[in-house]
Amino acid sequence: MKRILKIVGGLFALLVVGIGVIYFFFPEKIVDFTYSQNASKAHLTAKTITVNGYNTHYYTNNNKTAKDTLILLHGLGDDKNSFVQSATFLTKDYYLIIPDLLASGENKKESSLDLSIKGQVDFLNRFLNHLKVKNFNLAGNSMGGHVAAAYAVAYPDAVTSLVLLNAPGLKLDDHVVYSGFGSILKNDADLNTVLSRVFYKVPELPGPIKKMYISQINDSRDFLNNNIIPQIKNGQYFDLQDQISQIKAPTLILWGKHDAVVKFNVAERYNRDILLSEIEILENASHSPQLEVPEVVAISINDFIQKKVK
């Protein structure tokens, strides 16, 4: 018995050491495991399909018997994991599709891609056609909301309802939304500055996780600053001011109150020019409410769809 206990104790010690090694030297494994657990909780499966030769990664709950389909689009520098926590509260009632957008997440970054908002709209349309999805509710945060609004302009008959979460897309003054990551991040303080633009309350992160995020942001900085952002600013659908009145879908403008990235006058203009629209303010959230108050966001989306579409 003592020998067995020693063996079990030794295995436990090795497990603790192993977890410690992973935590300090491979924090991305911890993050990937967390993403996997969140996806599992939401009954989401990670899938890949090839659309016009481009491998496209996405999550879906495969709930094709659901009455309504809901597409969720992440923002710039983010990926399909952005909406996974909100998806937990939506998965029972909707056929969910949560893609990585062009050159985002696990999708390949290629300078030859059309990374303008129009390019993202065309990509999304090809992707949804490949999945044989024709009519759906469409929600997006930040750049994903910009893409969603542009999609509703380009394909008004496809979008049953539209949800814009702190979405840019209207050039109303000299305020710059697509400003990029700026200088190379050197330390925790630099990372906190970046996170404070997204979060109302910057989350406490362990040291190894902070280092991982600093490295990831620095690695993606040049491609984002030199490829994605210039294409957005110089491409079609950068400024939708003259087109949003064409949006026919009932639209919820869902806004984190403390957003320092997109000014509230953008939300007000969306509300003014989209005929069937309303604004809802989220008190304890900033630029990406789905990351801070995922359940509140899910409830707001669901209530709006049920109220407006039924």
For residue 182, the model assigns a pLDDT of 78
Q: Return the higher-pLDDT residue of 198 and 49.
A: 49
d(CA 11, CA 68): 49
pTM value is 0.90
The answer to whether the CB of 141 falls within 8 A of the CB of 73 is yes
For residue 27, the model assigns a pLDDT of 59
215-258 pLDDT tens trace: 989 999 999 999 999 999 999 999 999 999 999 999 999 999 99
For residue 197, the model assigns a pLDDT of 85
For residue 308, the model assigns a pLDDT of 66
For residue 309, the model assigns a pLDDT of 58
For residue 310, the model assigns a pLDDT of 54
Q: Which of 3-17, 71-85, 193-207 has the highest mean pLDDT?
A: 71-85
Task: Provide the residue ranges of all domains of the chain, joining segments of one domain with +.
Answer: 1-41, 46-309
pLDDT over threshold 90, residue 34: no
d(CA 123, CA 27): 32
The answer to whether the CB of 164 falls within 8 A of the CB of 99 is no
Q: Residues 250, 102, 118, CA angle at the centre, nearest 5°?
A: 55
Q: Strand 136-141 relative to strand 45-51: parallel, antiparallel, unpaired? A: unpaired
Q: Determine the average pLDDT of the residues in 106-110.
A: 95
Q: What percent of the chain has pLDDT above 70?
A: 90
Q: How is residue 176 written in tokens?
A: 């710059």
Distances, alpha carbon 82 to alpha carbons 21, 39, 210, 265, in Å: 27, 11, 18, 25
Q: 54-58, 69-73, 182-186, 223-227: which has the minimum mean pLDDT?
A: 182-186
158-183 pLDDT tens trace: 999 999 999 999 999 888 899 877 78
User: CATH: 3.30.420.10, 3.40.50.1820, 3.40.50.2300, 1.10.3720.10. Which one for 46-309?
Assistant: 3.40.50.1820
For residue 208, the model assigns a pLDDT of 86
pLDDT over threshold 50, residue 5: no
Q: 114-128, 136-150, 171-185, 272-286: which has the minimum mean pLDDT?
A: 171-185
Residue indicated by tokens 């949003």: 244
237: left (phi over 0), alpha (psi -120 to 50) or beta: left
- Average pLDDT, whole number, for the chain? 89
For residue 230, the model assigns a pLDDT of 95
